[in-house]
Structure 1
Amino acid sequence: MSISAKEVKELREQTGAGMMDCKKALQDADGDFDKAIEILRKKGQKLSEKRADREANQGLIVTRLSDDGSKASALEINCETDFVARNEDFQNRAEQFLNLAFENEVDSVDELLELEIDGLSVADHLKDMVGKIGEKIKINRVIYTESEGQYISYIHPGNQLGVLVEFEGEIDNEDIGRDIAMQVAAMNPLAVNRDGVDSSVVEQELDIAKEQLLNEGKSEEIAEKAAQGKLRRFYEERVLLEQKFVKDNSKTVKAYLEENGIPLVKSFHRLQLGEES
């Protein structure tokens, strides 16, 4: 049967699929819109299954905060190419999924995939995106968190790295808060303070330092003491509050916060595009 350009355009606006795909779906469905939509959805399902083993290490990190900074969400959505990640529709979808996670206080990918937008689950929306875009699309991570203090968000240009920093109380200078979020982005600390570093990491650092010193001919006693010194330097490099502040190496992050009357950092989340969840 003959399919008009108006019908193709209407189906494209409803589904986001390509013009030729919409035309063929309408022809196969004898002009029935509901059947055409189902045909496009099944195409997306098949393509999604075919591309399941493909690498998807491009994409976006997006974040959202409540007005008072007491609630925060972050989401990582992946695709195969940077070209798709820069597509306006892909970016709008990312924001849509982020808002859904934030509003429903969801902190796991599995939970988010079950939620619905316009009667369709997020999982099915992703399949539709695969059918339209032709690339593997997945949500890799989602975070939802609350605080009695305040969160500050920082997204590095390009949306490939995002940070949420939780402060112990409200802060009256968000520029300073953003400085700390940028510090987390740039210096990739392991933890806020020493207590947050996994004991196995500490033991490994001590063992490596001690073995190196013993190999240099140091005695057991000297190696033990010197290893503790190396561990202190490790903390200065990898613990946020002990790191040198990137904008002023004469002071630590903790000293910078204290001299500006800003509450200390309680926790942080750092999302790097493509990292394992």
Structure 2
Amino acid sequence: MAKITASQVKELREKTGVGMMDAKKALVATEGDFDKAIEFLREKGIAKAEKKSDRVAANGLANVAVHDNTAAIVEINSETDFVATSDPFKDLVTKVSDAIALEKPASVDDALKLSTEKGTINDSLIETTQVTGEKVTLRRFEVIDKSDYEVFGAYLHNGGLISALVLLKGGDEETAKHIAMHVAATNPEYLNKDEVPADRLEHEKKVLTEEALNEGKPEKIVEKMVEGRLHKFLAEICLEDQEFVMDPDQTVAQYAASKNATIAKFVRYEVGEGIEKKEQSFEDEVRSQLK
């Protein structure tokens, strides 16, 4: 077996743009032959996939997979919604979600190394990139475990553009799903007021106080006004205190209680949230497709 040096790996990485392990694997497979290593990467589709690494993947799908007492909510991104609705992409999302729920990796890097029929999840992403012609990435996931006395509820909105996962203590799957639908619709920031950071509350209280004073209200009633407005603010951002979308006469916590349940946790993913999309003219888009 030919000895592969760090400088060879570095040179191949710079030439092809692939990761260190892929470069080393190619050199080992070709016994250090640089040109054959490049051809090896091209045949595998790895070099092609890596060249797309500077593109922005802000579309895609989020999904929830449940296996026994473990659930995983996962987001996988593509560059366009056209690819996100394709069968190869949807199949990838399902398989990756299942693998993560079953194996419970600790990080995205760990998840990419999980075994699949294609080799690893990373290999599956590369193959889907090759098939679709777009950058495809595993962006994030969260794994939740439950006891036998707890219940999962999941909801996918618009095929997975928004996904919500809820964990209840007590109750049943129908109740959990209804609360997951509420989470998808209202996008709460926290479970309850106890989770809201103290500095966030203090900032909001300061802003509300200034607003009330600027309205010319007497100082002696400003405190009560701020207290009422702060309560309304918390009701907007905290799941338990929000008006339940299916019955606005009760809060989400009251709805759960009526079903002998309490809410233990929720996670909501909206595809592409927080990703800065590149603005591209139609002319530039056509030119990029011709390259």
TM-score clears 0.5:
yes
Q: How far apart are 1:273 and its partner, in Å?
A: 0.4
Distance 2:242 2:62 in 1: 25
Question: Hey, what does 2:225 align to over in structure 1?
Answer: 226
User: Hey, what does 2:214 align to over in structure 1?
Assistant: 215
CA distance in 2: counterparts of 1:81 and 1:188, whole angstroms = 24
1:275 aligns with 2:254: no
Report the equivalent of 1:20: none
The AA in structure 2 aligned to 1:264 is: T
Cα deviations across residues 159-178 of structure 1 (Å, max 9, x unaligned)? 11111101123x23x22221
Q: Give the drift of 1:37.
A: 7.2
What residue in structure 2 maps to residue 40 of structure 1? 43
Residues of 2 paired with 1:255 and 1:120: CA distance?
48
Cα offset for 1:229? Answer: 1.1
Alignment-derived partner of residue 60 in structure 2: 59
1:189 aligns with 2:188: yes
Q: TM-score, normalised by structure 1?
A: 0.79
Q: How does 1:49-128 map to 2 (within 5 A)?
A: 49-67=50-68, 70-118=69-117, 120-128=119-127
Structure 1 residue 141, shift from structure 2 partner:
0.7
- Provide the rounded CA distance (Å) in 1 between the counterparts of 2:186 and 2:212: 27
- Is this contact kept in 1: 2:77–2:139, CA < 8 A? yes
> Secondary structure at 1:112's aligned position in 2?
helix
Q: Is contact 1:160–1:272 with CA below 8 Å preserved after alignment?
A: yes
* Count of residue correspondences: 236
Residues 108, 275 of structure 1: CA spacing in aligned structure 2 closer, same or farther, 3 A cutoff? farther
Is the partner of 2:123 in helix, strand or coil?
helix
Asked if structure 1 preserves the Cα contact closer than 8 Å seen for 2:49 and 2:135, the reply is: yes
Q: Distance in 1 between matches of 2:114 and 2:203?
A: 43
Alpha-carbon offset, residue 231 of structure 1:
0.5
Distance 2:114 2:162 in 1: 26
Aligned twin of 1:150? 151
Residues 40, 131 of structure 1: 8 Å contact kept: no
Which of 251, 266, 269 is equivalent to 2:264?
A: 266
- AA in 2 matched with 1:54: R
Where in structure 2 are there 5+ consecutive unaligned residues? 1-37, 276-291
Q: Counterpart in 2 of 1:246?
A: 245
Separation in structure 2 between the aligned mates of residue 206 and residue 47 of structure 1, nearest angstrom: 53
What's the counterpart of residue 25 of structure 2? none
Give percent identity, aligned residues only: 33
8 Å Cα contact 1:107/1:145 also seen in 2? no
Contact 1:109 1:141 in 2 (8 A): yes
Aligned residue in 2 for 1:7:
none
Residue of structure 1 equivalent to 2:204: 205
C-alpha contact 1:101 1:107 (8 A) present in aligned 2: no
Instruction: State which drifts further: 127-136 or 79-88.
Output: 127-136
User: Quick one: which amino acid aligns to residue 264 of structure 2?
Assistant: K
Label 1:82 to 1:221 Cα distance change in 2 as closer, same or farther (>3 A).
Answer: same
What's the CA shift for 1:49?
Answer: 2.9
Residue 186 of structure 1 aligns to which amino acid in structure 2?
A
CA apart distance, 1:221? 4.1
The residue number in structure 1 matching 2:33 is none
Q: 1:37 to 1:86 in 2, by over 3 A?
A: farther
1:201 Cα shift? Answer: 1.9
Structure 2 letter corresponding to 1:61: A
Match of 1:160 in 2: 161
TM value normalised by structure 2: 0.75
Deviations 1:62-110 (A, max 9, x none): 111134xx32111110001111111111111111111111111124211
Equivalent-residue separation in structure 1 for 2:117 and 2:179 (angstroms): 39
Partner SS state of residue 140, structure 1: strand
**What's the Cα RMSD here?**
2.1
- The change in CA–CA distance for 1:49 and 1:220 in structure 2 (over 3 A counts) is farther
* Letter matched to residue 40 of structure 1: E
3-state SS of paired residue (1:158): coil
- Report the CA distance shift for 1:129/1:37 in structure 2 as closer, same or farther (over 3 A): farther
